[in-house]
A and B are shown apart, each in its own frame.
Chain A
């Protein structure tokens, strides 16, 4: 039997996806021919924004390359436009005079950008933003011209504007409405967005109607209806799109705004179907890929003669692809009488959330600043969920793997392609996937706007967990090398390497200067291996460890002075109070580690403040011993069996300033009630009658883990000896940035126990520990005493100028 002939007009995102679905269902049913006006294989139009922003290139946004057409025996006519359809004769005619018969015809002609019919619109410096050609034109203009004006403050216009900024142009955005993205956002969100984009460098002209594009020959500017003129060399029109229906209309296929289709994407003409932005379904024309892909699925089944659910329309959500700005909007977003809203507005952090409710059901949402709840809200809106379902699933502050872990299986992870968490997890498990690229290949997730990539990556980590970790042992320490931690440490030892650059050179790093992962790691390993001779490289330290203070989000610092065992006195408190007043410290807070934290200190004030305090650094910023938390103990507590304070202070005095793979927290409690929380510390000591128990590998943070009993000893001296050996063993064998909770699990508690049981081994470890401790100095004192350090690290150059 000869195959039936299927012809697709429009080689774009919706049409070709539908063909993919057809091939998946019935690889051999049709002989397929595709016509596309553009001279390229099907590419990802969405990513044009990112091409313009310089994050990817045109050659990287191809979705189906030439091979794909060949492998699937599809005859593609690129750069060829269908100019007429003869629905009676079931035949199409192209601009190159080609005639092709069809049994089934799919129209997927997309949209055309709407160009304002104003004088000057035909000038060479005026562009739309729809296809590769437009994109190339803008990139080209940016090379020789400075000023761009974008007409239209919607999604497309703002993405174009961001791109032009990245290309080094000055950008004005002209918008008819009184706030941005007025179709997706309410006024509050629109204004927050504007503020953010102004910070990024855009200029806005709101409530302005462009009357004319002025200029002699080339573009010189815009003239508004109020007479104002804005200079511009390039004008981008992003005022909207209209369905591309001319061909259908001319061929007698009924159209309204778009080509009219029913719930199975059939037009009113037999054997002619339409899908994508050119189609109008139940009065709606869509302009985002998610609904178009849903339509394509239904059409594929219908065309293959399989039973399918009807397409009933889609609830869409939008997100803006401009870095540094997170905006989400879905469903109905405008308030009116019967609609109630739930709003959260945090002006300080620039976060806004509005949820719209009708008859107790969630019908829409707008998010600004933090869009992590977007997928969840879209799911709730789609199923018309009760508002309680939202409020009860209380927003968790979780991120990363614990966030994806908390999601239900039916949660959509990739909005564009409608791929759920369940589908992705299942694919990872059953098909042995280990990378986001593979997930994309198998499930379509991440194949369009790419916004879901972080979630997909988290899902991989969450699903593979241990298996990824097992592979981890063979993991290179970072992308700059193929060597693992053990191989690097071994090479440093064997070859006697003495500084980070030498390590990178000798061991053939792929980058000349390393990265923010390997530099601090190498700096740590070098110092651990040779504490006496190694000269710590402050430029390879994270900011906090270089500055000896914790940087805050606004660039100020926090200062935590040492208080051994969490014990202080009136004199210290008075000094702290005086300093806080003198430097106008905005926030004083007690930490979880029983210390006092002075937050919001200016960089320049740090050394002066330390001098006034005259207390040692509390190392609250360091990969180092943070604090030894203690309970009151036998001297005051009626349950106390041991001197926990004395024990804690002794430990803290001995091990302070020590450099460790990650932070180390300790605690000493005087009885099993554990008031100092010894059960969730890297090393926790618990006093019992006549003895001390040592617990290890506990963690009260992201990876909550109860500590394991390492051993029970009698005296304070023994506690010190065991602690020293344990910490040194951790220092020598852990990966940089591996907390003891992970390390204990990786090494195995029994292995650690058996190493530390041996007195001789403990002595050797303690000797090396003591050596490392001998060279440590209080860094605050060093800064106070050295004008060089103060100048190099803490001083800001200030040049007062009058730029007028």
Chain B
């Protein structure tokens, strides 16, 4: 079996992304919410709340979680899991910082 090819996509400089404020990133047909956490780490998840499709990039970021701006669902930005009492999950994407650049790996 052929190893799936992975794409490394530069999406900008890390300094340009304010902490705890999401950034909408559109890569082709994909829409990703990119977060720079208070700790400085970068996370990327699908920009669509499993509840009613709210744009997660505009949610309030607290620690490892983002609160959906539509109905306040709490979603872990590291593993994509919706937190109780709600249920569900969103896709997560690998994102890294290299030489000050944010790279999403698909």
Binding site for B on A (CB under 8 A): 50, 53-55, 165-166, 200-201, 323-324, 453, 511-516, 519-520, 538-543, 546-547, 551, 553-555, 603, 791-793, 796-803
Residue of A nearest to B19 (CB): A539
Pair B28/A512 contact, Cβ less than 8 Å: no
A540 CA / B59 CA spacing, docked (Å): 10
Pair A511/B28 contact, Cβ less than 8 Å: no
A796 CA / B58 CA spacing, docked (Å): 12
Given A539-B20, A603-B24, the answer on whether A516 and B87 have CB atoms closer than 8 Å is no
Pair B59/A801 contact, Cβ less than 8 Å: no
Pair B11/A515 contact, Cβ less than 8 Å: no
The interface residues of chain A lying within 8 Å CB-to-CB of B58 are: 543, 546-547, 551, 555
Pair B26/A515 contact, Cβ less than 8 Å: no
A539 CA / B106 CA spacing, docked (Å): 28
The interface residues of chain B lying within 8 Å CB-to-CB of A543 are: 58-60, 69
The interface residues of chain A lying within 8 Å CB-to-CB of B74 are: 515-516
B89 contacts chain A at the CB level, 8 A cutoff: yes
Pair A796/B27 contact, Cβ less than 8 Å: no
Q: Which of A515, A796, A798, A800 contacts B67 (CB 8 A)?
A: A515
Indicate the member of B24, B54, B62 with the most A CB atoms within 10 Å: B62
Pair A799/B59 contact, Cβ less than 8 Å: no
Residue of B nearest to A514 (CB): B62
B40 contacts chain A at the CB level, 8 A cutoff: no
Pair B21/A324 contact, Cβ less than 8 Å: no
Majority SS at the chain B contact face: loop
Given A539-B21, A553-B70, the answer on whether A803 and B7 have CB atoms closer than 8 Å is yes
Residue of A nearest to B5 (CB): A803
A-B pairs with beta carbons under 8 A, tally: 111
Sort chain B's interface into a size bin: 35 or more
Q: In the complex, how many angstroms separate the beta carbon of B86 from the nearest chain A beta carbon?
A: 7
Residue of A nearest to B9 (CB): A799
19 further A-B pairs in the complex, CB-CB below 8 A; given A323-B87, A539-B61, A551-B58: A323-B82, A511-B62, A514-B62, A515-B67, A516-B59, A516-B62, A539-B21, A542-B69, A543-B69, A547-B58, A603-B24, A791-B16, A796-B23, A798-B25, A798-B26, A799-B9, A801-B7, A803-B28, A803-B106
The interface residues of chain B lying within 8 Å CB-to-CB of A512 are: 63
The interface residues of chain A lying within 8 Å CB-to-CB of B9 are: 799, 801
A800 CA / B62 CA spacing, docked (Å): 30
Pair A796/B24 contact, Cβ less than 8 Å: yes
Q: In the complex, how many angstroms separate the beta carbon of A601 from the nearest chain B beta carbon?
A: 14
Given A516-B74, A551-B55, A793-B21, the answer on whether A324 and B89 have CB atoms closer than 8 Å is no
The interface residues of chain B lying within 8 Å CB-to-CB of A53 are: 87-88
The interface residues of chain A lying within 8 Å CB-to-CB of B25 are: 796-799
The interface residues of chain B lying within 8 Å CB-to-CB of A554 are: 53
Q: In the complex, how many angstroms separate the beta carbon of A133 from the nearest chain B beta carbon?
A: 23
The interface residues of chain A lying within 8 Å CB-to-CB of B18 are: 539, 792
A796 CA / B10 CA spacing, docked (Å): 14
The interface residues of chain B lying within 8 Å CB-to-CB of A792 are: 16-18, 21
Pair B21/A540 contact, Cβ less than 8 Å: no
23 CB contacts below 8 A, A to B, read A55-B84, A166-B89, A200-B50, A201-B91, A511-B63, A512-B63, A513-B62, A516-B59, A516-B72, A538-B21, A540-B60, A543-B58, A546-B58, A553-B53, A792-B18, A796-B23, A797-B12, A797-B34, A799-B11, A799-B26, A799-B27, A801-B7, A801-B28
A796 CA / B23 CA spacing, docked (Å): 7
Q: Which of A50, A553, A603, A793 contacts B87 (CB 8 A)?
A: A50
Given A323-B82, A539-B19, the answer on whether A800 and B52 have CB atoms closer than 8 Å is no
Q: Which of A797, A802, A803 contacts B24 (CB 8 A)?
A: A797
A323 CA / B67 CA spacing, docked (Å): 17
Indicate the member of A201, A512, A542, A543 with the most B CB atoms within 10 Å: A543
The interface residues of chain A lying within 8 Å CB-to-CB of B26 are: 796-799
Given A54-B89, A323-B50, A323-B88, the answer on whether A513 and B38 have CB atoms closer than 8 Å is yes
A323 CA / B24 CA spacing, docked (Å): 24
A554 CA / B55 CA spacing, docked (Å): 8
The interface residues of chain B lying within 8 Å CB-to-CB of A555 are: 54-55, 58
A547 CA / B69 CA spacing, docked (Å): 12
Q: In the complex, how many angstroms separate the beta carbon of A501 from the nearest chain B beta carbon?
A: 8
Q: In the complex, how many angstroms separate the beta carbon of B101 from the nearest chain A beta carbon?
A: 12
A555 CA / B51 CA spacing, docked (Å): 14
A233 CA / B41 CA spacing, docked (Å): 34
A581 CA / B88 CA spacing, docked (Å): 40
Pair B60/A539 contact, Cβ less than 8 Å: yes
Pair B85/A54 contact, Cβ less than 8 Å: no
